[in-house]
Amino acid sequence: MIFIDANVPMYLVGAAHPNKTRAHHMMQRAMIARERLVADAEVLQEILHRYVALRRHDAIEPAFKALLDSVDEVFPIDRFAVERAKSLVAGYPTLSARDAIHVATMLEHSIPRIMSFDAGFDTVPGITRLSD
């Protein structure tokens, strides 16, 4: 099982960028291998937040579609995940709050790998970041 971070679908639908090709190849490999791909509701919120901040409302639907067409499940964020994220940021001060939510979800569902270009995940033992 592989967790997909928000930056992957945003690179897939975004303008030309070196990570666009990398994101496409990662997704292609995962699908060929028939990996179970998942995300959490925070990934959708990140996409929404980023494109609203950029005033790129036109990009929201394509990014949502890229993610939702790819994943098998989107996990909800509940109080338990937020409480666990709070503990994670205390133990890993370089981990962002959003990344801590993802790690909490990954730990809750025994997901060891994340597809992401965010090196912040590299500090958490037991989590393997796939970036190319």
pLDDT tens for each residue of 44-61: 999 999 999 999 999 999
Q: Tokens in use for 94?
A: 């370089």
Whole-number pLDDT of residue 132: 82
Whole-number pLDDT of residue 15: 85
Residues (pLDDT < 50) of the chain are none
Instruction: Convert the pLDDT of each residue in 86-103 to its tens digit.
Output: 999 999 988 999 999 999
Give the pTM.
Answer: 0.93
b/e for 37-64, b at 16 or more Cβ within 10 A?
A: bbbbebbbebbeebbeeeeeeebbebbb
Per DSSP, what are the bridge partners of residue 129?
A: 114
